[in-house]
Amino acid sequence: MNSRRDALEGHVQLESNFDRDTPGPIVSQLAEQDKVPWYCKPNLRLLYLLMLPTCIGVEMTSGFDASMVNGLQAVPSWLEYYHHPRSASLGLMSAMYSLGAVAAIPFVSSVVDTIGRRYPILFGGIIQIIGAILQGSAANFTMFIFARFVLGFANVFCVVAASSLTGELSHPKERAIMSSLFCISWDLGAVFAAGVTFTTFVMTSNWGWRIPSLLQVVPSLLQVTFILFVPESPRWLVSKGRKAEAYAILVKYHGEGDENSDFVKAEYRQIEQTLEAELRVAQMNQKDAFSTPEMRKRVTIATFLALFGQWSGVGLISYYLSPILDSIGIHDNRTKHVINLCKVSWSLVNSTIFSFTVPRYPRRSIFLLSSVSLFIVFSAWTIASAVYSFTQSKLSAQVVVALIFLYSPAFNLGFNALPYTFLTELFPFHVRVRGIATYQWWLQCAGFFNHFVNPIGMDAAGWRWYIIYCFWNAFQVVFVYLMFPETSGRTLEELTFLYENEQDTCRDAEVERVREQGESVTYGSMEVRPREIIKRSD
């Protein structure tokens, strides 16, 4: 413990080597100069391996859920047991997962900011295990949808905490890629569920749908088993005054045990100074954390990022592939399961490729390219569906299937690979959890609306329902072009004042503190006293 304290005290010696006011660029420069890959660093390698099932893997539950619901609609035993749910009843069953998440979100940010990042993942995983057991043992439709509500309620705690922890714990060199990998687990869970339902759909007993439902416990079991082996977020520890613990974690995993590492000293100083500035701002206006124009802009971008993630058409493919295939003349259940398994496997492949490559490119350009691609693919899909409805052409049906497969890379390029990387960069630490929770709230609200309304709309309007998505995707292109900022190439601390002027923000916060506490402080040529500002002469 003494060595840790000595190391913590030693980081102040960096002042002789680096400019105290510019630790951010130094961290970026030192990270760029480090040519040793992560897999050659034993401690960092162990950290990333532990983060795979516990942080990066939390979206496996959501991916499993979507693919399982998709698959169950082509499982005869499930259809018979629940009396062939359609339209509103099918929409309600799908939407309950999102409704559970919406109900949990008001509590998420306070829980994650109060008890840290790890324990919400642990408790959320335990509740998800309970929900999956309830779902697999459901005796009636009410019990089944209640279990899905429980699963959604617990999952959002895991997602918000894990996405924050991934960005805050990763080394700056790999942070963007690690955050990008976060959404790969969705596809991994989807492939797992598609494979299971493809195997069990031929069973005539109720185990044909109970087995997939019960196997939804697997991702949560992995989280619960390994999460306590993962260290806590150093940024959260610093914010709680546990600076020695935070510095020790940085030394072990980012410095490979070297307590004299200049990189660790610079990184720690950057975290410490930035959090001090952030927390002064937060204390000045904590009740109105999102009241400034800059924060409102961040929230607006996060809100529409969530809406784009649900309303670009992905909800149709993820939850209602079976009705879509019915609409183009594909009714055989085995064929539906084969297409679903191939679709999610292809999605896993391209999302994995994008997760390792896309973070190297400018965020805004990638989002814009993804949005344009979605508009083109979905418009072509709508036209091909319309042609089939009038001509019953097999060629047009084949075109629809091909476009479903093309939709996957168009969506994954931006809206699967980048959201949590982008959100972690967009929001400063003191509002990061609240920002991601806001994103999740809108994502789940849009998902609930999407899942409930889609089957009703498809039943009532057929291919014409897709036209709404074409107009939305066109709007999406315009919004991304006009509103999305560029955040790549900088550390989290360098992005803290993305829209604000850092010096002015810190000064305003200090002025407010002075006025409230009756202290005085000097800012350049200005002496600030309680309730007055007196300019000093040169």
Radius of gyration of the CA atoms of the chain, in A = 25
Q: Which two tokens stand for residue 44?
A: 């960092």
Give me the tens of pLDDT residue by residue for the chain, a chain 538 residues long: 444 444 444 443 443 344 444 445 677 778 778 888 899 999 999 999 999 999 988 989 999 998 998 889 889 999 999 988 887 888 888 889 999 999 998 899 889 989 999 999 999 999 999 999 999 999 999 999 999 999 999 999 999 999 899 989 999 888 888 888 887 888 999 999 999 999 998 898 999 999 999 999 999 999 999 999 999 999 999 989 999 999 999 999 999 999 889 899 989 988 888 887 766 655 545 445 567 788 889 999 999 999 999 899 988 888 889 889 999 999 998 999 999 999 999 999 999 999 888 888 899 999 999 999 999 999 999 999 999 999 999 999 999 999 999 999 999 999 988 888 888 888 887 788 888 888 989 998 998 888 889 889 988 888 999 999 999 999 999 999 999 999 887 777 677 767 765 445 444 444 444 445 555 444 333 343 443 333 333 3
Q: pLDDT value at position 191?
A: 93
Contact 222, 12 (CB under 8 A): no
Contact 492, 179 (CB under 8 A): no
List alpha helices for 227-320, DSSP H.
234-239, 243-254, 262-284, 293-311, 314-319
Q: Cα separation of 345 and 348, whole Å?
A: 5
Q: What is the rounded distance in angstroms from the CA atom of residue 103 to the CA atom of residue 341? A: 32
* Residues 172, 348, 159, 365, CA torsion sign: positive
At 61, list the tokens: 């539950």
The residue whose two tokens read 């990008």 is 180
313 alpha carbon, distance to own chain's centre:
18
Separation between Cα atoms, residue 34 and residue 396, nearest integer Å: 53
Q: Which helix (H) or strand (E) holds 452?
A: helix 429-461
pTM across the whole model = 0.77
